[in-house]
Amino acid sequence: MRCNIYNYQYLRFEIGIYMGLAKIVLLEGDLELALIVQEWLSQAGYEVDVFNRGLDFLRNFPLTQYDLCIFDWILPDLNGPDVMNSIRLRYNKVPPIVFFTAHSEESDIVRVIESGADDYIVKPASRQMLLARVNALLRRSATPQKSEMFFELGSLKIDVNRRMLLLHSEGVKLTDKEFDLAVYFIRNEGVLLPRAHLINVVWGSSSKTKTRTLDVHVSHVRNKLKLMPEFGWKLTSIYQQGYRLERVIK
């Protein structure tokens, strides 16, 4: 039956009802917190395996296929990023990885995103917020992969090669940086993207661009592409962290 789980998850998400069929591995050094998070996920219908040490997880990882990994950033033996890098060296296909950490500064978030993680959850996390992030990541992994050069999201169509964007079949005029931002947000739907990371990616790693410049460009992208809840999307500014593009399920 597991061979059909991804198609089934995708159909459930399309109508906004996810049934919690995924299998999640939680690697958390704090045993008390691990038990709380395991209970939250189990109550939501997920199957959860819990490990407290990175080496124990690495020894058991090949035995089971997981749909999502939640890693503590700091563990008693290995750090979460070391575990992530280890499994990515050993396996071609790795499920989405979200890091759990007590650090919330922008520099910390940049480290997480640039390490290759799919998302970032700051401790202490509420049950509602944690489940929302888990659902978003599973939805992204269950959705059929988009072409890297052409995106079609409802009424929004982007041709990356021709640098053309249509909204409701009408062309939308974007500056070069606005276009690059739009494509990067869509390619990373559901991911928290720190401001410094966005500046590095869109303006270049040595850019002296100020965050105010980024904020103005993001505002233009939001307004021109109608990335607002009433149109089925929201491009949200996360205070002191960055931006996240999410679809709104009604």
Tens digit of each residue's pLDDT (9 = 90 or more) over 159-181: 888 889 999 989 999 998 899 89
**Over the stretch 211-244, which tens digit does the pLDDT of each residue have?**
888 999 999 999 999 998 888 889 999 877 889 9
CATH fourth-level superfamily of 2-142: Response regulator (3.40.50.2300)
Same fold, 2-142 and 150-247: no
* Buried b or exposed e, range 204-232, using 16+ CB within 10 angstroms: eeeeebeeeebeebbebbbebbebeeeeb
223 and 181 Cβ atoms separated by less than 8 Å = no
If you classify domain 150-247 with CATH, what class do you get? mainly alpha
- What integer pLDDT is reported at residue 18 of this predicted model? 43
222 and 235 Cβ atoms separated by less than 8 Å = yes
Instruction: Give residue limits of the domains in the chain.
Output: 2-142, 150-247
Mean of the per-residue pLDDT values of the chain: 80
Rounded CA-CA distance 194/192 in Å is 6
* Buried b or exposed e, range 73-85, using 16+ CB within 10 angstroms: bebeebebbebbe
**Over the stretch 178-205, which tens digit does the pLDDT of each residue have?**
998 998 898 888 888 888 888 877 886 5
